[in-house]
Each structure stands twice: as C-alpha cells, then as structure tokens.
Structure 1
Amino acid sequence: MNRLFEATCEELNERFKRAKLPLSYHNGFIQIVSDPMTEEKISKPFWELIANSKWKNVEIDMMEAIDRRESAQRDPAFYAAKALESVIKIISKDKGWTRGNERGASQFIDNLQSVKSGAFITDWEADCLRLIFGKVRNELGHGPGGEPMPELTLEQTDWVIEAAMSWTKSLIERM
C-alpha cells in the first residue's frame, strides 16, 4: 500500500512538472516550487530523509515554515530554524553526545563539533550553523522591544528554509 501511495505521489509530481505547474506534493501538502533544481537537489531528498517518525518534529516545523511562507504569514524562517535545531538535538542525543545541561542550539552544535564526537562537523560548519541561530532564529524569536520588528525579505526567507533543509540533509546523511 505504501509503495502504491509513493508511486501515486511521484506520478502527481511528474504531472505537475510536465504541465509546467510550479507545484510539488509532499507529506499531505501541495507546495509552490520556485526553483526546480532546489526541488530536486534539496527539497525532495529532505522530505525523503525525514519520513521516519523520529524526525516528526522536524517535519512539523518545516511544514509550518513553508505554509507560513506561502501564505505570507510572519516568521517562516523562525520555524525552519526550529526544524534545524531539532535535527541537531536528535543527532546529538542519538550519538550519545548530549550531556543534559545544554542551554541552547549553540551548545548542541558544540556536541557535534567536539573532538569526543570525532568532529562530526568541522569548525567552519559549526560557525555557519551558529550564525543561522544567532542572526536569524534569535532575532525572530525574541521581542524587539522598541526597535523595529525584524522581518526578512522573501528571498532571505527562501534562503533560510532551503539552508535548513540542506543542513538537515547533510547532517542526517552522515549518521
């Protein structure tokens, strides 16, 4: 039954593609495809990799990010970063690197970067990940006080969602 459903979904996506409709079906949602190469190299492998129930929270937050982007709601990039943070936490825990006293994404990134973990990620990768959380997730996740409300452009939002998917793909494939 699962194989039949997967084949039907692949057929639907192929029909969208042949009809030159910028749409793709994933996990119960028809989504806008802005770039066919991104769809083929990042989005499709991402959804396939997180199909396991272990990644359910990743799926929930990424679907929220995409839904918010496509319906022009606030902070879709925040949800994409949450999805990525869940990936990092799950990997850290699964590999036995979580100590239990981590207070944020940066310390879970430390777990992946640590020599004890065999340097699962390199220094430059850890720096890039920290920037996503420090400059995107934190900015959107904390109230700005009297400062202007932080907002990303559509292009910046797309980049964060695609980057979170790409990082997820890269990290899960290493497990």
Structure 2
Amino acid sequence: MPKKHDIKKVLVIGSGPIVIGQAAEFDYAGTQACLALKEEGVEVILVNNNPATIMTDENIADKVYLEPLTCESITKIIEKERPDGILPTLGGQTGLNMAVLLDEAGVLAKYDVTLLGTPLETIQKGEDRQIFKAMMKDLNEPVAESLSTSSVEEAVDFANQAGYSVIVRPAYTLGGAGGGYCR
C-alpha cells in the first residue's frame, strides 16, 4: 500500500474492555500500529478507555486520552486534535462501531478525517451478521445455520429444526460473553 504523504496525525482507537486480560490481541496490534506510525513520522493520538493496557504507555503514542469510547468523547478529541486520519480497526468491535457512528454522525466529513485501514462498507458488512451471512452465501461459502431472535419459543423451534448442540448468545458480543451451549 502506498504511503499517504498527506497523513501527518492519526487518531488510533484502542481496545475497549476494562477487564485486565481481555482483548490482549487488540492491545498488541494497537501498540505495534502506534509504534509503526511513529516510525513513519506520523503523530499518534490514542484514545482508550482502559488504562491497564500496554498501548497507553507514554512511549507508545504521542498523546493518550483515557476516555469512554463513545461517539461524543471521540468527537471532542477530533475537534481538539484535528487528526488527518483515524485508525479504528485495532479496537475490536468497539473501534469498528465507533468508526461507523462517527461517519453516520458526519464527524469524519466535517473535520476531513480519512478512515484508514478497512473501508467503512467492509466494516458494515462484517458487523451486520445478516448482511455477512448473505454475502457468504452469495460467494458459495459455507455458513453455520443461525437465527437472530428475541423469542425463546422461536429459538427452541430453530434448535429443534437445526439440531442440538447450539450456541446461544446475545447479539454482538465478543469472546462469547453472556452466551453458552444448549444441548
């Protein structure tokens, strides 16, 4: 990928969980991205709500904001810091969702912030389970049978039809939090 010479300052959205030991892969990837950006002469602004991560070390980013990962708090940081680019793909689902929300709110366009890494359309396809499932089927790729429902009865009917064991989980969780197996 060619270097973008107009990108001088990048806002990195860090990993979201505030439980020590979660999202270590995001912390590692984010740390490496911050260091690589700095090596290229890019000023790195990091926002993370977890102070117990390696990436919040004072030597990793040029500036660190320990703030809630919300559209409102990130917008305030963008207003203050005026980054040329934003890198949300290192904060897991939280970072990806923030990129979508910032775009939908018009923040990225208003402050002329370039989304770096994964394109917004790809993020949306990956985050919406129904769109992702349809895309995989269009590509003739195997997809596990699944159903989104808010009804216990509908879930039981699906499990009886699909066959047990099934995984039951709340929508949009990472690492299986809140879910489990049903035999």
TM-score range, shorter chain: under 0.3
Q: Quick check: which has more Rg, 1 or 2?
A: 2
What is the TM-score when the length of structure 2 is the normalising length? 0.23
Which structure would you say has the larger RCO, counting Cα contacts within 8 Å and 6 or more residues apart? 1
**Between structures 1 and 2, the one with greater strand share:** 2
What is the TM-score when the length of structure 1 is the normalising length? 0.24
